[in-house]
Every structure is written in C-alpha cells, then in structure tokens.
DNA sequence: ATGTTTAATGCAAACGTTTACATTAAAAAC
DNA sequence: GTTTTTAATGTAAACGTTTGCATTAAACAT
C-alpha cells in the first residue's frame, strides 16, 4: 500500500485517465459518462481517497467551513445554540470552526483574524461583553464574506446581519410580572451596558417600573459583570440592612440563583418576602427550590435563525453588496415558577 | 484599493522583492535582514494581509487545525472539557474544529471523514455510546496523524492514545459510600455496556457490593441509555411496589435528579429512606435539595491531559510509529452531599 | 465522401504558499 | 588582486484541486 494520502492523481494513474476527468467524475459533472464515474468512484473507495479540502478550497475559493466566535461554549445559552447551529450547518454540508473568546476583546480580535486566514465561507459571532469597536470584522465585510452577529450584537450600527432575542420585552415582562405580583421595590442586577443584552433588559425594566408607577431608585440597580463573585457581593450589600427590596430582576440566572440562596440563608422567605426573576431558563432554575421564574430565550431557535440568515447571505453573495439588512428579533417567553 | 484579498505577491510587488523573500520575512527566517523584515511587516499591515492558511497548509502539510469529535457540546462534562481543550490548544497556536455526533454512529463516521479531508493536524475523539467498530479512524492511524480518545474510548484495543477518568474507582466509591451509609439493597442505573464508562462504573458497583457482602440482584440493575425518558420509566418501575431499594447509584446525574424528584413526589424521604449517588458533578446536583452526592470527574483536567497527549504525539510524529501508548487514567473524587 | 454536431475526455494554468537550490554582492582571507 | 566565505535575496517547482479551452472520436447530416 502507498504511504502517502491518496490523491486524484493516484486514481487517474490507476485507471489511465486524466486527472481532470477524475476530478469531474468525483464532482458528478454532467459531461462524464456514467461508466467512467462508476469506475472512478470504485477506485476512489479502494484507495480510500478523501478530497483534500485545502487544495480544493484554495483553487475554488470555497472551504465549506463556517467560523463561530463565541464567549464560552459552556454557558447554557451558547452551548444550546451551538448544538443547533452545528446540526443545521451540517445538513447543508458545512463544518463549524469554533473559537472561544472567554470574553476577552483581544482574543476576539485574534480569532477574527485566524478565521479569516483559514478562509471560512462565513462567520457567526456572539461578541464579548466589552466589544464596542467592531473594526476587526471589517476584513470580512470588505471582502464580502457573509457575517452575522447573534445574541451579543453591536449596539451601534455595524453593516452586518443581526439576530437577537427580544431583550427589551424580556426585561419588561420580568419586571411587570414582579409588579403585578405586588412588589413595590424592585431591584435590578444588570450587566455592563456596553452589551446590548443588558442595555435592552434594563430599558425594559425601567419602562415596566414606569408603567406600573413604581419608583426607580438608582441604588437598587447594579451594572457589574454578572459573575458569581459580583452576585454574592451585591447580595450581601442588598441585604446588609433594611429596607430590603421585595422583588429582584436579575439579568441572568446564575445571579438569580446566588441571590436566592443568599436570601434563603438569611431566613428570608421566597416568594412571600422576596420575589426573584432570572433570565435564560438555565436548567438549574427549574430544579432549585423554590424554582425560579425566568425568561426563556429559545437558544436553539436563535441559533437556527442565525444559520438561516447566514445561508441566505451566502446564496446572494456578491449581489446585495453593502445592502443593509434589518435586525431579526426572536421571541422570548416568561416561564412562571414558584420564585415569583 | 484592490478588490481581492491581498497576498504575499502584492507585498512583493509593492516592495520590489521576490515572493520568497516576503514569505521568509513573514516567517521570521534567520537569513532575512531585519530591515527587510520590518519593511515587509509594515507593508503587510498596510495591505491588511493575512496568510492564506489553505495555501500554506497545502504546501507545508500543516494546517494548525485540530479536530474534535464529540457527542454533544451541551452536556456538562463535554462543554467544560471543550473549554479547557480550546484554551490550551489556542495557547499552542492551534484552532479547534468541532464536530458533534449527537451519539449517532453514522455521523461519527461522516465527521471522521470530513476531518481527514480538511487535513487536521490531529484529532481528539469522545465516541458515541454505540461505537464498537473504530475502523473509520484507521485512515488517521494509517497516515500517522495523531489521534487521542478521551472519556468515551474504545473498549477493546485500538492503536491510539487513550485518556479517561477512573470510572471503575468512581463506581466503586459511589457504591461503597452507599454501603457504608447503611444501604442494604442498592440498585444501579447503568448505561449500555458497549460504552467503557458504564462498563467500568458497573464493574466498580459489582465489586463494591461484593466487598461489603451485599447481594447483587439483577432485577435492580438497568442498562438502558440514560435519557430522561428511560430514567423516569425505570423510576416508576422501581417504586411501583415494595420492596424498594434503599440506595441507588445512578451512572449519570440527569438520571439521579429524575430519580430523586420522582421518589420525592412519592413521599419517600431522602436520605432517610432512600440514598442516591449520581455521577459527573453536574451543577444541578449542587442546587437541588437535597443536594446530590456525586462523582467529580474534573472535565477540565481530562481535556487538558488529552491536549497534552496530543501535543506530545505531534511532536514525536513519525518516530514512534505504531508504538502503543498506555492509557492515561485521570483521578475522580466523591463529592459528598445530603442525598447520601 | 465531406462537413457538422455531439459526447467524452485531455491539457495546462491557476489558486497562494513554502523551500531546495541557485545567484549575487559584499566582506574576508590569502 | 584573486579566491573564499558569508549574508541576503531570487528562481522555480511543488502541494492537490478545479476549470476554460482544446482535442478526439463517434454519430449524424448533407
């Protein structure tokens, strides 16, 4: 057996055909006779031939690889979205290259460059919390490579397709739910407003307060990154001394869980004395007791819509150059549980 | 500005140098003068040049891409492992290409082929539950492409590096813990024995029973795939009529959680009347009440060890051809909580 | 018979790098 | 002042495909 990976040249030699014919046969070109195609396919099998996608990508300027830049694959929302994305892309014959930023802006820049280097056919991005400058993606737009942002998207205008959940509505529903349940003093744990998610949820919170004629008090709103550490620190601060809030809208579930556990440890009874709403419908919220009311984002739908949008862009590539697409906003849903 | 992506040819033309010199300059070749390197780097920046990794991979037969084949990126263990893997690979200048099998054997074959096609420099695999034939990976071993299996690994001999947790010990510790806590009748929800994980945990279970002189009863051992549906079905079956088991060792946490919830709904008091131990230390086990005793597998360590092994293989590529590496077994730890 | 169409295949260039093997020019050695 | 060494750069082939443009041979039309 030959020692090197077999190529179409090997097949051509074995069958005494030209490499052009072999290439066409393998690509099911209409002008190649069925007999030849069959022979070629059989020989290819016998030699365990696999197309070298580097060579074919280089020549044909098409790699069938899609890049995905994402903060952390292990977060519930993203893990679920990835699954949907990968499945759908695979159906259409694409592979997925995943890069993880760990919410580092520098890493995001590096990854964008690396993705371009490997000539992905398209790129999907959920940016870091701190990305406000998106110019590292210019190389994609300039070279007309389809680019979609999903979930974490540019706050200011950037010429690329955007798919995101309806965070304003989510924030509004969550806060309204607390208000309707009788809460008078609703605190909000937001994240940095540089991120569209928190900005929109916060806006929903503010408007819901106004609608229900509840006071907005800035000492009950927090804008730190929603790490467990920060959550615990703020929980301590909130419950250091009365008056306590009687409702909390936390902009993510991890934070909601920590708040709940901390309040419980202080003997505060939930939902009687304190109501809590989280965001994302992380599996843990269903299991903790009392189970936490939260906002379902349908990460799989978001992922699928993002892929749809990307495929659409790839189809129309070249034509609609520079055309501005309007953002796609996906539905959210309040999941009512015992905590509120 | 030019319309096409810029290449080293563009740089060479702009500086009136040969493309060879430019290539060497960009690769920091020792024989190129500092002055030239500087000029080249500046021009590259100006033109927003990015190396085309297809071309360089084709020529140099090195892509800097590592493939990862995994059942589901959203499972806790794997999501965590991926994060560790990706971070560590990135430190060494590699990108990660992830393929998800959804535990389908057919998909695994397809993905293996696709990974080979894109000429990954190495491949990491956690196989499906049902993979017993590993011949679709032969193309890697035959072409001397580093291959490591982790977590879900071949049960029978296969000539590739293996990294796995100490599942036998995990099963043994879990069962012993129940026995020491006074359980006399310990059921075990295992998965299909075609998978090393379940096979080893089951073996640990059996040996622990023997050591503690407890009876083994085959009607209290189950080997179905550990889906939520199966878990619920078995839970109903176990508690349809007395005698009930007084301890259960579930081979995964999802199953343990469902058992716990079902038992609770029947009014069975945990841990007094029934003790439960799970496997994996899924975050949900810490949050449910009572919190579930489980086995920590340190997925990040497993991932890192797998990367270490892969990097090692890539270094020594060619030399130790055919040499058999012995499996690496990583530590596990019993996490004692209220459920047992 | 000769010209024309059609079907099947072949030739050779191109994609953007890397690298073995020159080549050149300047410096060093004699 | 010739030869030798050294440093810097250039030439051209190669990696494995794809594809525009032939070419060939057979089938058909005149």
**CA gap A327, B312 in Å, rounded:** 46
Eight-state DSSP code of residue A125: E
Q: CA B272, B169, A75 angle in degrees (round to 5)?
A: 80
- Taking the CA of residue A213 and the nearest CA in chain B, the distance in Å comes to 36
Q: Which nucleotides of D are covered by protein (CB under 7 A)?
A: 7-12, 14-20
**CA gap B203, B249 in Å, rounded:** 12
**CA gap A228, A30 in Å, rounded:** 60
Does any CB of chain A come closer than 8 Å to the CB of residue B65?
yes
Does any CB of chain B come closer than 8 Å to the CB of residue A118?
yes
- Taking the CA of residue A70 and the nearest CA in chain B, the distance in Å comes to 11
pLDDT at A319 over 70: no
Measured between beta carbons, the chain B residues lying within 8 angstroms of A80 are: 74
Measured between beta carbons, the chain A residues lying within 8 angstroms of B80 are: 74
Structure tokens at A230: 């920060």
**CA gap A155, A141 in Å, rounded:** 17
- Taking the CA of residue A325 and the nearest CA in chain B, the distance in Å comes to 22
Does any CB of chain B come closer than 8 Å to the CB of residue A97?
yes
pLDDT at B170: 98
By the 8 A CB rule, do A233 and A258 touch? no
pLDDT at A1: 43
By the 8 A CB rule, do B145 and B321 touch? no
pLDDT mean by block of 10 residues, chain B; 340 residues: 78 95 95 94 94 93 91 91 94 89 93 92 96 95 94 94 97 98 97 95 98 95 95 95 94 97 95 97 95 98 97 75 79 96
Measured between beta carbons, the chain B residues lying within 8 angstroms of A65 are: 97, 118
By the 8 A CB rule, do B119 and B60 touch? no
Q: Once rounded to an integer, what is the mean pLDDT over residues A320-340?
A: 86
pLDDT at A322 over 90: no
pLDDT at B73: 86
pLDDT at A68 over 80: yes
Question: Which of B4, B117, B253 is the best mutation test for A, with the most CBs of A within 10 A?
Answer: B117
* 3-class secondary structure, B21: helix
> Whose CA is closest to B277, among B186, B202, B204, B215?
B186
- In this structure, the dihedral spanned by the alpha carbons of residues B14, B18, B21 and B25, taken in order and rounded to 10 degrees, is 10
| DSSP-assigned beta bridge partners for residue B100 | B70
Q: CA A117, A123, A129 angle in degrees (round to 5)?
A: 105
For helices B76-91 and B299-315, the axis angle rounded to 10 degrees is: 40
Cβ atoms < 10 Å from Cβ of A93? 8
**CA gap A9, A15 in Å, rounded:** 10
Residue found by looking up tokens 């878990």 in the block: B231
- pLDDT digits 0-9 by tens, A118-159: 999 999 999 999 999 999 999 999 898 999 999 999 999 999
State, as a whole number of angstroms, the distance between the CA of A33 and the C1' of D21. 20
Task: Go through the domains of chain A in sequence order and give each one's CATH number.
Answer: 8-51 (1.10.260.40), 64-165+299-328 (3.40.50.2300), 167-296 (3.40.50.2300)
Residues in chain B: 340
- Taking the CA of residue A144 and the nearest CA in chain B, the distance in Å comes to 10
| DSSP-assigned beta bridge partners for residue B68 | B98, B124
H/E run at residue B329: strand B328-330
Question: Which of B114, B317, B339 is the best mutation test for A, with the most CBs of A within 10 A?
Answer: B114
Footprint on protein of nucleic strand D, Cβ below 7 A: A 4-5, 7-9, 19-20, 23-24, 26-27, 49, 51-52, 55-56, 58-60; B 16-21, 24, 29, 31-33, 35-36, 55, 58-59, 61
Cβ atoms < 10 Å from Cβ of A45? 9
Are the beta carbons of B119 and A53 separated by less than 8 Å?
yes
φ/ψ of A174, rounded to 5, equals: -60, -50
**CA gap A12, A164 in Å, rounded:** 50
Q: Which of residues 6-65 of A touch strand C (CB under 7 A)?
A: 16-21, 24, 29, 31-33, 35-36, 55, 58-59, 61
**CA gap B237, B250 in Å, rounded:** 15
H/E run at residue B200: helix B196-211
**Strand B147-150, strand B161-165: pairing:** parallel
pLDDT at A318: 53
pLDDT at B320: 54
| Cβ partners under 8 Å of residue B156, min gap 6 | B132
pLDDT at A2: 47
Residue B179 vs residue A1, higher pLDDT? B179
- pLDDT digits 0-9 by tens, A215-246: 999 999 999 999 999 999 999 999 998 889 99
- Taking the CA of residue B106 and the nearest CA in chain A, the distance in Å comes to 13
| Secondary-structure percent of chain A, ordered helix, strand, coil, rounded to 5 | 45, 15, 40
Does any CB of chain B come closer than 8 Å to the CB of residue A257?
yes
pLDDT at A179: 97
Does any CB of chain A come closer than 8 Å to the CB of residue B27?
no
**CA gap B319, B334 in Å, rounded:** 40
Question: Which of A102, A287, A321, A339 is the best mutation test for B, with the most CBs of B within 10 A?
Answer: A287
* 3-class secondary structure, A317: coil
Does any CB of chain B come closer than 8 Å to the CB of residue A289?
yes
Measured between beta carbons, the chain B residues lying within 8 angstroms of A57 are: 54
Eight-state DSSP code of residue B150: E
């Amino acid at each position: 057996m030959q020692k090197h990976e077999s190529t179409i040249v090997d097949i051509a030699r074995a069958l005494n055909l030209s490499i052009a014919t072999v290439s066409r046969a393998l690509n099911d070109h209409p002008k190649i006779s069925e007999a030849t195609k069959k022979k070629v396919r059989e020989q290819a099998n016998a030699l365990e031939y696999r197309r070298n996608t580097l060579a074919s990508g280089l020549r044909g300027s098409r790699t069938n690889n899609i890049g995905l830049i994402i903060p952390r694959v292990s977060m519930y929302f993203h893990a679920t979205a990835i699954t949907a994305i990968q499945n759908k892309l695979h159906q259409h014959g694409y592979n997925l290259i995943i890069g993880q930023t760990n919410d580092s802006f520098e890493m995001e820049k590096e990854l964008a460059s690396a993705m371009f280097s490997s000539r992905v056919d398209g790129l999907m991005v959920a940016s870091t919390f701190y990305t406000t400058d998106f110019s590292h993606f210019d190389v994609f737009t300039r070279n007309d490579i389809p680019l979609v942002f999903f979930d974490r998207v540019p706050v200011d205008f950037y010429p690329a397709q955007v798919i995101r959940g309806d965070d304003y509505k989510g924030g509004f529903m969550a806060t309204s739910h607390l208000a309707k349940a009788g809460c008078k003093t609703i605190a909000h744990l937001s994240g940095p407003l540089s991120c569209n998610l928190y900005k929109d949820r916060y806006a929903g919170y503010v408007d819901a307060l106004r609608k229900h004629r509840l006071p907005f008090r800035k000492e009950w709103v927090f804008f730190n990154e929603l790490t467990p550490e920060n959550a615990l620190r703020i929980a301590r601060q909130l419950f250091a001394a009365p008056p306590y809030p009687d409702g909390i809208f936390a902009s993510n579930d991890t934070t909601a869980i920590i708040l709940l556990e901390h309040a419980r440890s202080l003997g505060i009874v939930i939902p009687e004395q304190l109501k809590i709403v989280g965001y994302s419908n992380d599996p843990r919220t269903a299991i903790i007791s009392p189970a936490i009311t939260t906002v379902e984002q349908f990460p799989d739908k978001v992922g699928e819509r993002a892929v749809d949008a990307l495929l659409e862009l790839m189809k129309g590539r070249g034509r609609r150059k520079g055309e501005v697409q309007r953002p796609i906003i996906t539905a959210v849903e309040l999941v009512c549980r015992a905590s509120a």
